Structure 1
Amino acid sequence: MSKCFADGLPAGQLDRAPFKFQHQLLQHPALSIEGLSESLPQLPADRIMYSKGLSDLAINFDRAHIEHGNGLGLRETIETIRTSSSYIAVRDPEDHPAFRGLYEDLKSEVGALLREGGKSRTIHQPRMWLFIASPDAVTPFHFDRYSNVLMQIRGSKQVAVFPNFNPEIVPTEVCESYMDRKDSQSLWREELDRHAVKFDFSPGDALHIPYIAGHYVKNGAEDVSISLSFFFQTDETLRWTDAMRFNHRWRKWIRPLGLSPSPVGGSAALDAAKARMLPLATGVGRLMGRARRLAAA
């Protein structure tokens, strides 16, 4: 019997479209505000990022904790989260005993769904993130390097999800650069909202956000929001990632010839070939870098 999700999920839709379903984690003690107040201060400081309650969809989400500090310590931020207009993001909390069993349960159930839907032989790079936010705070528009299951524990929100592999929303070169571990950048423009599929979200709801699908979140006004994300890669998304990394590196060398690599996602065979050739692109880049340094010397 499932510990985390309701039965009957459309496993075949994973990474094809966003869809809402139900989770079963509302009573998990680690996810209450009291449990979080106890466990989060025991995690390494670099796992926890907190900022002012964000209100602009164009803010760079990855740098919000650096550029929009709230002037409070972590414990005070948690204790005053209802009134202090703050936002807390916690990465990889599963190292704390309070979350370890939950992490293993999610890993097992999502892995089984991937196999059921024929998406992957196994789950890759599973990660947990926690988000705690004051009423009316927003999560700015961004996209992730992973597929995602987002679960609402407390409060309400509206989640807007955008089609992946659409260069009108996330330009191809920007996506490739980010997948090759370059810095993110703000992409939000009001006209993008016509592409959004919007989901009203309350405690017990879960949402699948496909790999690299842009999204933003607007929290409700009535309560603190607590949500849990479970990120993962599949056999297919790993191929897409390596193919995009190949494109990003190879583009530099063929652009002077007036050439450009074809976007990832159009041909499974070509994506697989690019993923296999990533070490070649990496080697060429190192050789070219060494040649430039020698020439400069």
Structure 2
Amino acid sequence: MSDAIFTNWTDDVTRAWATEPVRLKHRLHTDPLFSMAGLAELVDRYPREHYSLMQVGAPGERRTWREGEIGKMSGDRVIESIANGRMWLNLRNVSGVDKRFAELRDQLFGEIGERVPGFSAFGCTMGILISSPKAEVYYHMDVPGQSLWQIHGKKRVYVYPAEPPFRRDEDLERIALYQVEVDIPYNTSYDEHARVFEIEGGEMLHWPLNAPHRVENLDCLNVSMTTEYWTEPIRRSQMINLANGILRHKLGVTPRSRAINGAGFWAKAALQAGVKRAGLLQKARKERRSIEFQLDTERIGAIRDLAPVGR
């Protein structure tokens, strides 16, 4: 096996894993897979269905979150454009697209499994984020277990408690329904309760399940990696998120339980499975993911608006 990915794991990290935010060091910022030339080559051949390009607003200005596409730009020009714009490029499921990253994923989760008693994950994926100086990811939360790995650049990460009012059940349900993570309420007063981390290449963060968070890039191009995973309790919680979302947002019924066992759980499991099989949520999801712009090949860092097209 190659050198260990984590370089400073301690017993304190093992005890805190999944119950509070933890900060660790890693060696991935030195791996040739994540060189700028390697990333440009990856962007060059990345399948359209596996990436998202998002435009965000300037700090302190009106919130903007629009989805676009690369067009016919080369990978190195895409990265140059991001470095001179205000965007996030998310290469989703890179571990499913490129076997080199799949091998890295397997080693990474293998190391976690060796260090965290009872950790048994499946559906593990990795993604790569390339983002502009001072770009933001707005207040949001994710439904699987997740970590953020900094490769190049610096960013500030705010992690909030995974409890009301910061994390509301109805927001988790909406995320499960529409697969849009940033459309949830945020109040600046929440920051008083956040754990704030500034991380640079060679550092990573892991936080409790569904903990809301937001990200501010410092004044430099950023390259990060995300890892996501499922466990059986997380999978069942997501089934409840979707079933309760159908009840609350589609049928007008207020759910009274988030139990992941018992007869009520199995009834909700059947409900959400039937809705998914029938494809009843696809139209609503596409309406929230229209493609609105394309990178401008003539002006580095600029975009060209498109007529909205559903995904």
Q: TM-score range by the shorter chain?
A: 0.7 to 0.9
The change in CA–CA distance for 1:253 and 1:178 in structure 2 (over 3 A counts) is closer
Paired position in structure 1 for 2:138: 140
Identity %, equivalent residues: 22
1:22-62 Cα shifts (integer Å, max 9, x gaps): 112121111121110011211201222224454358847xx
Question: What count of residue pairs does the alignment treat as equivalent?
Answer: 269
Give 3-state SS (helix, strand or coil) of 1:5's partner: coil
Any gaps of 5 or more consecutive residues in structure 1? Answer: 265-269, 287-297
Paired position in structure 2 for 1:278: 268
The change in CA–CA distance for 1:260 and 1:65 in structure 2 (over 3 A counts) is closer
Paired position in structure 2 for 1:48: 51
8 Å contact kept, 2:161–2:167: no
For residues 213-232 of structure 1, the aligned pairs below 5 Å read 213-221=211-219, 223-232=220-229
Could you tell me how far apart the structure 1 residues matched to 2:186 and 2:110 are?
35
Could you tell me how far apart the structure 2 residues matched to 1:225 and 1:284 are?
41
Could you tell me how far apart the structure 2 residues matched to 1:11 and 1:180 are?
33
The change in CA–CA distance for 1:11 and 1:239 in structure 2 (over 3 A counts) is farther
Paired position in structure 2 for 1:175: 172
1:108-145 Cα shifts (integer Å, max 9, x gaps): 223334xx333x4x212111111111221111211111
Paired position in structure 2 for 1:290: none
Paired position in structure 1 for 2:292: none
Paired position in structure 2 for 1:35: 38
Paired position in structure 2 for 1:149: 147
Could you tell me how far apart the structure 1 residues matched to 2:123 and 2:148 are?
16
1:261-291 Cα shifts (integer Å, max 9, x gaps): 13x3xxxxx33224433334348979xxxxx
The change in CA–CA distance for 1:59 and 1:4 in structure 2 (over 3 A counts) is farther
The change in CA–CA distance for 1:106 and 1:285 in structure 2 (over 3 A counts) is closer
Could you tell me how far apart the structure 2 residues matched to 1:238 and 1:226 are?
29
Paired position in structure 2 for 1:99: 101
Give 3-state SS (helix, strand or coil) of 2:29's partner: coil
Paired position in structure 1 for 2:256: 261
Could you tell me how far apart the structure 1 residues matched to 2:185 and 2:84 are?
30
Greater shift, 242-251 or 27-36, is seen at 242-251
Could you tell me how far apart the structure 1 residues matched to 2:230 and 2:167 are?
20
Greater strand content:
2
Paired position in structure 2 for 1:292: none
Let me know the Cα RMSD of the aligned residues: 3.1
Paired position in structure 1 for 2:210: 212
Paired position in structure 1 for 2:114: 112
Paired position in structure 2 for 1:197: 195
1:242 maps to amino acid: M
Give 3-state SS (helix, strand or coil) of 1:65's partner: strand
Could you tell me how far apart the structure 2 residues matched to 1:30 and 1:124 are?
24
Any gaps of 5 or more consecutive residues in structure 2? Answer: 277-311
Identify the match of residue 10 of structure 2 among 8, 23, 26: 8
